Amino acid sequence: MTDAAPLATPSAYADAVATAVQAAAAYYADGSTPLGDDEYDALVRGIEAYEAAHPDEVLPDSPTGKVAGGAATGDVPHSVPMLSLDNVFSADELAAWAAGLERRLGRPVDGWCVEPKLDGLAVAARYRAGSLVQVLTRGDGLAGEDITHSADAVLGLPARLTEPLDLELRGEVLLTQDQFDHANEVRTAHGATPFAHPRSGAAGTLRAKDRPYRVELTFFAYGAIGLDDLGHTALLGRLAELGANTAATTEAHPQRCATVEEVQQRVEEVAALRSALPFGIDGVVIKADTATDQQQAGSGSRAPRWAVARKLAAEHKVTRLLGVEWNVGRTGIIAPRAVLEPVVIDGVTITYATLHNPADITRRGLLLGDQVFVYRAGDVIPRVEAPLVDQRTGAEQPIAFPEACPRCGDPIDTSEQRWRCSRGRGCQAVASIRYAVGRDQLDIEGLGGTRAVQLVDAGLVEDVADLFALTRDQLLALERMGDTSTDNLLAAIETARNAPLNRVFCALGVRGTGRTMSRRIAAHFGSMAAIRAADAEALAEVDGIGVEKAKVIVAELADLAPVLDKLIAQNVGTAVTEPTAPSNAGPQEDGPQGPLTGQSVVVTGSMAGSPLDGLSRNEVNELIERAGGKASSSVSKKTTLLVAGEKAGSKRTKAEELGIRIVSPAEFAATVADHLA
């Protein structure tokens, strides 16, 4: 949380109020703002502190005590005021708020419900006899704006409830990350400027009329007028029964907690899930769970007294784009990287961010010197989202695109969105070799970065296939290569020659594939020669490869044809890859048979002290599939087994709630003992 400087004078206070009002107006109008969430929250806290010390000087425009900071308006009255939430910014503040609520009630709170605070726009959806008749924004809490015209584009907001009730659903409308990316593709294709970030996209889309294109959004219900006798947990269950989407469908699903200590733990779990969620959250909401507690606590003019938002550090910040670097990857892809004026996001100083590709730069209309939104979720690589066009001064300059490969100077293939050096992998032979010999690919010990550079510089290796033609004399001629190190390296290469086909194929680094897809391709075709001969139609039959991805892979295979031919001639990768279970496999479907046949397995936590200790997560996933199961990374209703090691965390909690069978790493190892390598 960013701390604001104390407001020491009436002038400083007035300036702060004016800045906050301007930021709130932008935020609630179209989701844009000259301030990040942290800066706005700190500014408002400074205003509140000044007003507490100088109650006679409170300005009428002050955002304190007002829904939406007093910035939003509406012309359609709400049936019941649609309030905001008060905020707390630390575990201590949350504990103090909970203690204050219990003092107000004169007794302990009878359970809490903890759920994600979705970063979208609050709406009210009115139903008559089960049919949707009107959708409103929150506005100023007393009246909102009619946005019914956008309702058919909002997924999760049913046109009809499953029962013919008179009801008003309340919830959040947002753009998931996939919806946001698709929306910007559609907008730029129609000549419109891209959205700055998902929240601005949601605000703009809900208000827009008569667009020549469609942008889908997603609704999450969190309340209702007309079901007031239900506690919050029960209410969410009832809303799901009526056909509304709720956060119960997500990894950060609402959870009932008995004590404040359990609440604090769940807040930490939801915060840890933040980077994996397919949509943005800016906090965690804590609510007294029972209707009795809520009714007795009541509400103020701005917010209910029985609920609070535990704000999390912002993931969006505004900073300046100082430059663009062009880097060449191991497959020859030329990737732009933004050089930023340093900015702290979620405790991390960001100086670089991805720009994806040249088309992305053009689509977003970026200029050097722009003020830009930068996004970071958890440990995900930061990315630049969009410029603040209205902040431009006229001094901004166009971004220069390279006319030749920045690494080798050869021509650039610009036929696709992702530009590529015409030499392809040959431009970054060292990077390709280092990837190929990694643990989850060929696992060739003794062939690190320095040795790879030696081999490429000596002209002995141009691609991964050349490794298998190396001779003892060639290696001995290299600097610092003695008899022992040479023999060890040759032995490791010989072991890799007999690696399963999927590992050899994965070592090629084919675009559109990874470790899991390499296993599926290898199991489907059975030999490198069959893969080499496959066309797009044949590849599209592999589980998880559609028509479009198949075209990309075929093009890659054509580019790799000389390497594939050498591997085939040298009998590399002839070891059989066992069939893997299809992604939608069930107990009766074809696939490998074993103790996990028909099982969907999630592995979490440390495997220390078990026979699985020392295996990478990829190797454990391969083990699951050899034993007939399907490996998954997240717990859901489809999960049938959780392998929970030390510090299993939220996945174990969710598995327990769903009644999923949980075993220790040692128990799991005993089950699949016959399939352990």
Single residue among 378, 394, 413 that ends a domain in this structure: 413
Residue 626 confidence (pLDDT) above 70: yes
The amino acid at residue 592 is P
pLDDT of residue 290: 96
HSE on the CB side for 361, CA within 13 Å? Answer: 24
Range of lowest pLDDT (14-28, 167-181, 195-209, 493-507): 14-28
Q: Are residues 85 and 58 in the same domain?
A: no
Rounded distance, CA 185 to CA 100, Å? 48
Q: Are residues 160 and 182 in the same domain?
A: yes
pLDDT of residue 345: 74
Rounded distance, CA 418 to CA 156, Å? 34
Q: Are residues 473 and 509 in the same domain?
A: no
226: confidence class by pLDDT, cuts 50, 70, 90: very high
Asked whether residue 585 is domain-assigned, the answer is: no
* Residue-wise pLDDT tens digits, 104-147: 999 999 999 999 999 889 999 999 999 999 999 988 888 988 99
Rounded distance, CA 373 to CA 64, Å? 26
Asked whether residue 587 is domain-assigned, the answer is: no
Q: Are residues 294 and 353 in the same domain?
A: no
1: confidence class by pLDDT, cuts 50, 70, 90: very low
The amino acid at residue 205 is T
Three-state SS for 137-175 is: ECCCCCEECECHHHHHHEECCCCECCCCCCEEEEEEEEC
pLDDT of residue 584: 46
Rounded distance, CA 312 to CA 651, Å? 21
Q: Are residues 519 and 397 in the same domain?
A: no
pLDDT of residue 308: 96
Residue 288 confidence (pLDDT) above 70: yes
Tell me the mean pLDDT in the region 327-333: 79
- At what angle are helices 198-207 and 10-30 packed, to 10 degrees? 60
Largest CA distance in the chain: 90
pLDDT of residue 212: 87
Asked whether residue 329 is domain-assigned, the answer is: yes
Q: Are residues 529 and 658 in the same domain?
A: no
Q: Are residues 441 and 377 in the same domain?
A: no
* Residue-wise pLDDT tens digits, 531-550: 999 998 899 888 778 787 88
Q: Sheet containing 154-155: give its strands across.
A: 131-137, 121-128, 167-174, 217-225, 154-155
443: confidence class by pLDDT, cuts 50, 70, 90: confident
Residue 298 confidence (pLDDT) above 80: yes
pLDDT of residue 73: 65
pLDDT of residue 8: 77
Residue 437 confidence (pLDDT) above 60: yes
Tell me the mean pLDDT in the region 653-660: 86
Asked whether residue 588 is domain-assigned, the answer is: no
Q: Which helix (H) or strand (E) holds 360?
A: helix 358-364
Residue 395 confidence (pLDDT) above 90: yes
pLDDT of residue 33: 58
Beta strands 334-345 and 600-604 are unpaired
Does 654 qualify as catalytic in the annotation? no
pLDDT of residue 2: 47
Tell me the mean pLDDT in the region 153-177: 94
Q: Compute φ and ψ for 393, nearest 5 degrees.
A: -105, -15
Cβ-defined contacts of 97-103 (< 8 Å, 24+): 97/308, 98/260, 98/263, 98/286, 99/260, 101/288, 101/297, 101/305, 101/306
pLDDT of residue 583: 47
Tell me the mean pLDDT in the region 496-517: 85
Residue 253 confidence (pLDDT) above 90: yes
* Tokens of residue 507, six digits: 């070592």
Residue 95 confidence (pLDDT) above 60: yes
Residue 70 confidence (pLDDT) above 90: no
Is the separation of the CB atoms in 305 and 299 below 8 Å? Answer: yes
pLDDT of residue 650: 73
CATH of the domain at 41: 1.10.287
Residue 402 confidence (pLDDT) above 70: yes
Residue 336 confidence (pLDDT) above 90: yes
pLDDT of residue 162: 96
Rounded distance, CA 386 to CA 374, Å? 8
Rounded distance, CA 412 to CA 394, Å? 31
CATH of the domain at 286: 3.30.470.30
Burial (Cβ within 10 Å: 0-12, 13-18, ≥19) of residue 177: middle
Asked whether residue 204 is domain-assigned, the answer is: yes
Rounded distance, CA 603 to CA 642, Å? 6
Catalytic entry in 117, 287, 630, 651? 117
Within a 10 A sphere around the Cβ of 528, how many other Cβ atoms?
A: 21
Tell me the mean pLDDT in the region 179-203: 81
Q: Are residues 228 and 252 in the same domain?
A: yes
* DSSP type of residue 361: H
Q: Which helix (H) or strand (E) holds 647?
A: none
Q: Are residues 64 and 158 in the same domain?
A: no
Is the separation of the CB atoms in 42 and 4 below 8 Å? Answer: yes
Higher-pLDDT residue of 614 and 336 is 336
Q: Are residues 91 and 177 in the same domain?
A: yes
pLDDT of residue 45: 82
The size of the chain, in residues, is 677
Tell me the mean pLDDT in the region 469-478: 91
The range of the structural domain enclosing residue 472 comes to: 424-497
Q: Are residues 211 and 195 in the same domain?
A: yes
Asked whether residue 591 is domain-assigned, the answer is: no
Single residue among 497, 519, 546 that ends a domain in this structure: 497
Q: Are residues 136 and 254 in the same domain?
A: yes
CA distances for 597 relative to 79, 586, 608, 624, angstroms: 54, 8, 26, 9
- State whether residue 212 is helix, strand or coil: coil
Percent of the chain topping pLDDT 70: 91
Range of lowest pLDDT (91-105, 185-199, 583-597): 583-597
Predicted model pTM: 0.54
- State whether residue 36 is helix, strand or coil: coil
Q: Where are the beta strands (DSSP E) in 510-617?
A: 600-604
289: confidence class by pLDDT, cuts 50, 70, 90: very high
Burial (Cβ within 10 Å: 0-12, 13-18, ≥19) of residue 571: exposed
Asked whether residue 212 is domain-assigned, the answer is: yes
pLDDT of residue 473: 92
CATH of the domain at 513: 1.10.150.20
pLDDT of residue 379: 45
27: confidence class by pLDDT, cuts 50, 70, 90: low
**Which residue in 337, 368, 341 sits closest to 353, CA to CA?**
337
Rounded distance, CA 271 to CA 273, Å? 5
pLDDT of residue 585: 43
CATH of the domain at 606: 3.40.50.10190
Higher-pLDDT residue of 610 and 468 is 468
- Across the chain, what does the average pLDDT equal? 85
pLDDT of residue 530: 92
* Tokens of residue 428, six digits: 């970054």
pLDDT of residue 380: 55
Beta strands 154-155 and 217-225 are parallel
Asked whether residue 576 is domain-assigned, the answer is: no
Tell me the mean pLDDT in the region 472-500: 90
pLDDT of residue 468: 93
* DSSP type of residue 673: G
Overall domain count for the chain: 6
Single residue among 497, 523, 558 that ends a domain in this structure: 497
Tell me the mean pLDDT in the region 45-70: 80
pLDDT of residue 354: 84
Three-state SS for 377-440 is: CCCCCCEEEEECHHHCCCCCECCCCCCCCCCCCCCEECCCCCCEECCHHHHHHHHHHHHHCCCC
pLDDT of residue 589: 44
